[in-house]
Structure 1
């Protein structure tokens, strides 16, 4: 007697879920309403955001969650699109200049020559800046598709060293250009996915393929050379050194642990030491507290995250000290495996064996221990 009610309840839940997938959120409606204009600008949104869209699962006995057009936005201001000129997948970001007054200016600075092609520029490039018609303070920046810096995870010490080198020189370059990021936490550092995922992945569901029909797999289980980028300059600011020290009021970012902000959000402070803290704390949390094998970074990171901002090294000093540390790392250490701190004993043995065979292959094929540095 209980089967019928359970079946009815399950059917109702299934229908409610299908309806949920079929309903556009507020931010999604904004993008749908701008699809025609975006199309004229050369950018096509996915079927879900085209006028007149009907869910592909409508009237069919299929699971809506398996359908590509059920995938909604992860962040309302970020939309993926296809550039019609060449079929390239890009990301569109909605920027309101009254809320983030420096974001457009900072992006233009690092996306304009000669700075754009500078080898130490690790700020995500903007292909195009679009002014939204009828909305004076709303703009769209067109960026490349990027991926979280630690997806896939790091496998060797050399890969981690490559990452440290790039993010250190990237923030150093920003500071030399008189720009403070002010939010350079883990979520705002990404990688160029093309060397690792030549067939890409779904921009809003990155564990799935573009068509959302299968789990995505990297080109190789060992990282190839790739470049890392800073993104999201919504809290960033440009400072004119001719006007004096780089002092500004604190702003709350994604990392809430900044020591100088804990009890005082009113006193203006030098912005660069806070950037140094953000980057040091990211390395502390994402590497030193996650892996065995990068302990050589601890003295430098400890100084970067000191409670007293005046005692933290500048990014020029960070780079000098890092280069000294890097020179002392043996080639064998660079090729050694990063061991996750929560690995079990059996898992360690299994993974160490596989790593040993991969390392032999890398040495035999002259693959560099630090991916971005040729032999």
Structure 2
């Protein structure tokens, strides 16, 4: 590289996990889905053309996985997410079960909608085309009503899956998303979801309670299990590295995975309450869901009834009052009130 090139211009263009998307790009483009410039076979990094710092350009933003990526649907410019899964795998079998007309017609179905399933010829892979969503717990909740709406939808969704004898088995904040279209009308960047375009600055949003309805979904059924004989007698043996707090998990002693789902969702509710002191009144719901004895945990329907019972005792004005994350400083409160979001100032969008 020329000695006059600025520091950082020699940054390696692609990570190993990204290179698969370059191979997939021509096929996906032929099916009407365009990947970002970074994943085109003829891509030339912008910073090498402009002889500038790589981190000043959007096409420097990477992903670190070869299974999930954002794309643009060419027919209407809509942002979507693509997930690569095995065509004949267990996840595909569960997905096909969840997207049947009868399943999609159930308003409690809070599994991510699938716009299209694209099988890639001469490979074991297919691509799920899904709506572009973001993690459900950011931007922050504005009020108790928003918390109740989100948790209610997830409880309904869990009830729906369990009635179909499907255990999700990996319920955690990273697998719980929301449709951002009403909440973040300026959109977000897949690689930096707390920015609109991939560059830092003001990230603004609407309070969820002002733009209802906001839809919440479960994603990622890679660990999900189907029990055709019913959930009451379902047994499974497996430990989950990411869930050390679930008492019954074992690779030697069988347990009911549907009870694990309830614990996992209860654990997520606990974490939300830990983050927002004003939500403490809802703690008993999470406590019941995370009972040490699996047989003492309520069904999703009973948990939802408990949540609604507590909500009904809280005055409407209190439910709509603004709440804050623990230790939220004055700067964030002011910028959220004045600017409608939080400002992150690092690197500017390049002008050349």
Q: Same fold (TM over 0.5)?
A: yes
**Residue 155 (1) aligns with residue 142 (2):** yes
Secondary structure at the counterpart of residue 101 of structure 2? coil
**Residue 281 (1) aligns with residue 267 (2):** yes
Secondary structure at the counterpart of residue 107 of structure 1? helix
**Root mean square deviation, CA, Å:** 2.6
Deviation, 1:254, is 3.3
8 Å Cα contact 2:81-2:130 kept in structure 1: yes
Residues 303-336 of structure 1, C-alpha deviations (whole Å, 9 max, x = no match):
1111111111111221222222222121011012
Distance 1:25 1:18 in 2: 16
Distance 1:281 1:76 in 2: 29
CA change 1:347–1:47 in 2 (3 A) is closer
Residues 194-253 of structure 1, C-alpha deviations (whole Å, 9 max, x = no match):
00122312122212334x355363343565221111011100011113697121222416
Alignment: residue pair count: 334
Distance 2:100 2:203 in 1: 34
CA change 1:160–1:221 in 2 (3 A) is closer
Distance 2:331 2:112 in 1: 37
Secondary structure at the counterpart of residue 123 of structure 1? coil
Deviation, 1:82, is 1.0
Distance 1:127 1:216 in 2: 31
Q: How does 1:119-138 map to 2 (within 5 A)?
A: 119-136=107-124, 138=125
What TM-score does the superposition give when structure 2 sets the normalisation length? 0.87
Distance 1:114 1:233 in 2: 19
Residues 43-82 of structure 1, C-alpha deviations (whole Å, 9 max, x = no match):
1111111111111121424221121111111432111111
Q: Please tell me whether Structure 1 or Structure 2 has the larger radius of gyration of its CA atoms.
A: 1
- Pairing partner for 2:172 from 181, 185, 190: 185
More displaced 10-residue stretch of structure 1: 244-253 or 168-177: 244-253
Q: How does 1:168-247 map to 2 (within 5 A)?
A: 168-210=155-197, 212-213=198-199, 215=201, 217-220=203-206, 223=209, 224-225=211-212, 226-241=214-229, 245-247=233-235
CA change 1:244–1:117 in 2 (3 A) is closer
Aligned match of 2:347? none
**Residue 141 (1) aligns with residue 131 (2):** no
Distance 1:125 1:222 in 2: 21
Secondary structure at the counterpart of residue 155 of structure 1? coil
CA change 1:153–1:243 in 2 (3 A) is closer
Deviation, 1:96, is 3.1
**Residue 28 (1) aligns with residue 18 (2):** yes
* Unpaired segments ≥5 residues, structure 1: 1-7, 359-375
Secondary structure at the counterpart of residue 321 of structure 1? helix
Aligned match of 1:364? none
Q: How does 1:217-366 map to 2 (within 5 A)?
A: 217-220=203-206, 223=209, 224-225=211-212, 226-241=214-229, 245-252=233-240, 254-261=242-249, 264-285=250-271, 287-343=272-328
Aligned match of 1:83? 73
**Residue 93 (1) aligns with residue 83 (2):** yes
**Residue 52 (1) aligns with residue 42 (2):** yes
